[in-house]
């Protein structure tokens, strides 16, 4: 066929969701390789790009940015963000909730309460997203985290077994959808059983189909039954589903069209995980990857490392007849249907002077606090030292233990813990320990630990996409074990923030709390 018409070119552009900062001005900011500057972003939006995924900034900035982007586009946009732990996870000033796995832990002892809290979690996230201009929340995660060493899913999952994950996915989805925003089930067909981060490489899951049916698929089926608006396909290879050469799920027609569309009867939006991830971008050019994604059955190509090349690749494939116009029309209709479902033409944004009150106010802070309190679990207290029974003038050594110092952004480790500890025990000495702590500094801590009346440790290990790490440096682990021995019968209490599985590698610590 000949060159596509202007209308068809806009339809092709609508299959792309591009990435940008939540900050409105370029200013003097240094842009990471995956973010678009405003001039290029505006040009793409004017050409008909279908949506934007945002990252970074405050709640107020996000509110202004969403209005700005919609104005540039001149058409309703899908505006989305990875806010799996609440809008405050990405945008300061909104509510940042506990990781979903915390409610998975609670579900084991109190399923009804966990499901009620998961629904409130969804309502809180959806309401704040809608008020600030987001209309698509990239959650819930439907993966079953059945591999403790998983560096990319981990605490993002709602459960470690399919029944728990399914129940909480359903509850969260009900809450989210009640606020008039789109949700998404991810990462299909299941990213939980891997120890490879797809931001860094291509995970291969050698699981038989029978186990996929029993373990990986149920939460996605639950999400579909709960009215999932969209499903994200994962950059993972599963030979039991497609044993072709380089056949990640996101680029596989057998998985995306035959399994998800055909067998599971899903008729909502299907879109890829970020195409900038190394699992795909190191193997294919942006144009080739985009073409394969559309041919596989995805309606949206998310965050290509080169949006212009992705568009050009799809356009060339249509011109050659490798992708039919009928195929494009089908995806465009799904995109328009999704936009209509959330009423983008009538979306009302919160007045800027009301952001702090309506988004960061007491109601949402209460939800975050209640969920956080329910998440705290004492898993070991060998010497009956919890709660601490110390005089106010006791000397306390506090170790703030980090996996690695960079990458924590607004969540400065111990910024809340240290003031609270000192309020109770003014004689508290706090020391930060990480993979950058020198051997001499570790030896000094080791030598002085026995001089204190008690030792309190907080361990911060974060599931951070692209880091490929989910543990502590070996010298730090050895320090903690040595300090536990030196403490003798004195109290030593350790609290784990972030990855709860780190506790498995520190079995000699006498008292442990998971948060």
Which sequence positions are flagged as catalytic? 199, 273
Helix (H) or strand (E) holding 301: strand 301-302
Structure tokens at 187: 């990462």
Closest CA to 201 of 424, 452, 439, 468: 468
Please, where are the H alpha helices in 29-87?
A: 38-46, 59-73
d(CA 403, CA 396): 22
Segment holding 353, helix H or strand E:
none
Count the Cβ atoms, other than its own, within 10 Å of residue 37. 12
Closest CA to 188 of 198, 180, 178, 179: 198
φ, ψ (nearest 5 deg) of residue 460: -115, 105
Q: Could you tell me if 220 and 212 are in contact, meaning their C-beta atoms sit under 8 angstroms apart?
A: no
Q: What is the largest CA-CA distance in the chain?
A: 83
Closest by Cα among 132, 109, 225 to 171? 225
Contact yes or no for 158/235 (Cβ under 8 A)? no
> DSSP 3-state assignment of 184?
coil
Q: Which pairing describes strands 511-514 and 492-498: parallel, antiparallel, or unpaired?
A: parallel
Q: Are 235 and 276 in contact (CB under 8 A)?
A: no
Distance CA 338, CA 219 (A): 22
Nearest to 152 by CA among 163, 136, 141: 141
Cβ atoms of 278 and 199 closer than 8 Å: yes
| Helix/strand/coil for 13 | helix
Nearest to 311 by CA among 41, 16, 40, 45: 16
| Strand blocks (E) in 89-226 | 136-137, 185-188
């Amino acid at each position: 066929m000949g060159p596509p018409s202007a209308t068809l070119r806009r339809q092709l552009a609508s299959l792309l969701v591009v990435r940008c900062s939540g900050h409105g001005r370029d200013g003097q900011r240094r842009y990471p390789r995956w973010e678009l500057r405003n001039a290029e972003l505006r040009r793409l939006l004017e050409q008909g790009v279908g949506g934007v995924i945002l990252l970074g900034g405050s709640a107020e900035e996000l509110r202004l940015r969403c209005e700005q982007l919609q104005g540039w586009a001149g058409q309703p946009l899908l505006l989305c963000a990875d806010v799996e732990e609440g809008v405050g996870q990405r945008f300061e000033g909104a509510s940042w909730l506990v990781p979903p796995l915390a409610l998975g832990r609670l579900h084991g002892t109190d399923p009804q309460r966990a499901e009620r809290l998961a629904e409130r979690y969804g309502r809180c996230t959806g309401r704040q997203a809608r008020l600030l201009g987001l209309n698509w929340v990239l959650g819930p995660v439907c993966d079953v985290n059945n591999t403790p060493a998983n560096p990319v899913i981990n605490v993002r999952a709602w459960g470690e077994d399919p029944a728990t994950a399914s129940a909480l996915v359903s509850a969260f989805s009900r809450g989210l959808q009640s606020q008039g925003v789109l949700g998404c089930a991810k990462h299909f067909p299941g990213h939980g059983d891997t120890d490879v981060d797809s931001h860094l490489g291509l995970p291969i899951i050698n699981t038989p189909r029978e186990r996929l049916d029993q373990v990986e698929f149920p939460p996605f089926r639950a999400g579909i039954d709960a009215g999932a608006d969209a499903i994200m396909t994962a950059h993972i290879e599963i030979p039991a589903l497609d044993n072709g050469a380089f056949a990640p799920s996101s680029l596989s027609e057998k998985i995306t069209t035959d399994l998800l569309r055909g067998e599971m009867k899903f008729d909502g939006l299907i879109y890829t995980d970020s195409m900038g991830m190394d699992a795909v971008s190191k193997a294919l050019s942006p144009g080739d990857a985009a073409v394969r994604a559309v041919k596989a059955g995805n309606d949206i190509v998310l965050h290509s490392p080169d949006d212009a090349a992705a568009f050009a690749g799809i356009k060339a494939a249509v011109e050659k007849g490798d992708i039919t116009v009928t195929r494009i029309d089908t995806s465009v209709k799904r995109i328009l249907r999704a936009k209509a479902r959330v009423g983008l033409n009538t979306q009302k944004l919160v007045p800027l002077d009301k952001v702090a009150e309506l988004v960061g106010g007491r109601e949402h802070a209460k939800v975050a606090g209640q969920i956080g309190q329910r998440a705290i679990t004492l898993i070991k207290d060998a010497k009956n030292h919890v709660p601490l029974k110390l005089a106010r003038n006791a000397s306390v050594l506090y170790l703030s233990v980090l996996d690695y110092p960079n990458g924590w952004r607004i969540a400065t480790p111990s910024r809340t813990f240290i003031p609270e500890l000192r309020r109770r025990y003014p004689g508290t000495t706090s020391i930060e320990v990480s993979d950058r702590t020198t051997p001499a500094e570790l030896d000094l801590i080791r030598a002085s630990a026995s001089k204190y009346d008690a030792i309190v440790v907080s361990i911060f290990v974060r599931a951070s996409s692209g880091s490929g790490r989910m543990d502590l440096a070996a010298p730090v682990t050895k320090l903690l074990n040595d300090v536990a021995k030196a403490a003798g019968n004195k109290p030593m209490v350790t609290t784990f923030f972030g990855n709860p599985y780190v506790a498995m590698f520190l079995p000699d610590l006498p008292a442990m709390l998971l948060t």
